Amino acid sequence: MVRKIELNKRQEKILQIVKENGPITGESIADQLNLTRATLRPDLAILTMAGYLDARPRVGYFYTGQSGGQLLSGKIKKMKVKSHMSIPVVVSENTSVYDAIVTMFLEDVGTLFVVDESSILVGVLSRKDLLRASLGKQELASIPVNIIMTRMPNITMCEKDDLLIDVAKKLIDKQIDALPVVRLSDDGYEVIGRITKTNTTKALVALASEDVILE
């Protein structure tokens, strides 16, 4: 659970010592407080985890000037798509609307990516696209998805090295559930993954769980 850290008097004193004397070793901090290194260790661990201090081997402790919330914000801004994308679900452009609906149901996804015979991205299918197609009296088994899909160049995409926060903004701005993660080839864009609202939510929850004490 994300919660605000409340420093005790000893932790506040530790921060003051590091501000004035950093870099400084744990032993030196303990000497100034007339405590043993073992007694001080839990406080140093808490302050480091919360982002107030940074520890470097054989050098000592530095004051970062950051609270837990600032540290979390900095981590979020460095997260990339490649670490959080999932496996894409693709269908051929000649797949029938009926088969696409079945695929979406079986794979439990909200977006299908449509590729040509060279596995190059040519379209995107959303739940809304398939729902609109199923409302009429058409024979869904005889209608190919390339009739109803969103086509290039009207597809919002991303690449694996894009920042996750930028992709999240695209999802919000475009009001869509998923983006294809693509790689440019000689023939066009190959689909190598997908990033969804669920992916971004999971990433944030996982990050928050790592920082036990946050502002």
Out of 13-27, 56-70, 104-118, 141-155, pick the least confident: 56-70
Strand extents, DSSP E, 59-215: 60-63, 90-92, 111-115, 121-126, 150-151, 178-184, 189-196
The pLDDT assigned to 2 comes to 41
Confidence at 211, pLDDT banded by 50, 70, 90: very low
> Are 195 and 96 found together in one domain?
yes
- Contact by Cβ (8 Å): 165, 85: no
Sign of CA dihedral 96, 102, 106, 107: positive
Confidence at 73, pLDDT banded by 50, 70, 90: low
User: Where on the phi/psi map is residue 39: left (φ > 0), alpha (ψ -120 to 50), or beta?
Assistant: alpha
- Flag whether 55 is in a domain: yes
> Are 101 and 190 found together in one domain?
yes
- Flag whether 73 is in a domain: no
Q: Residue 44 sits in which domain range?
A: 9-65
> Are 112 and 28 found together in one domain?
no
> Are 107 and 139 found together in one domain?
yes
Out of 5-9, 118-122, 166-170, pick the least confident: 5-9
Residues 2-31: tens digit of each pLDDT: 445 678 899 999 999 998 998 899 999 999
> Are 158 and 198 found together in one domain?
yes
Out of 67-76, 109-118, 193-202, pick the least confident: 67-76
The pLDDT assigned to 58 comes to 80
> Are 99 and 180 found together in one domain?
yes
Among candidates 53, 50, 46, which has minimal Cα distance to 23?
53
- The domain total for the chain is 2
Does this model's pTM top 0.85? My answer is no
> Are 13 and 119 found together in one domain?
no
- Flag whether 60 is in a domain: yes
> Are 89 and 194 found together in one domain?
yes
Alpha helix (H) residue ranges in 34-183: 37-49, 68-76, 97-107, 127-135, 164-174
The pLDDT assigned to 70 comes to 59
Which CATH number do you get for residue 183? Answer: 3.10.580.10
> Are 185 and 125 found together in one domain?
yes
Confidence at 178, pLDDT banded by 50, 70, 90: very high
Query: Could you give the CA distance from residue 80 to residue 121 in angstroms, rounded to a whole number?
Result: 22
Q: DSSP code of 187? A: S
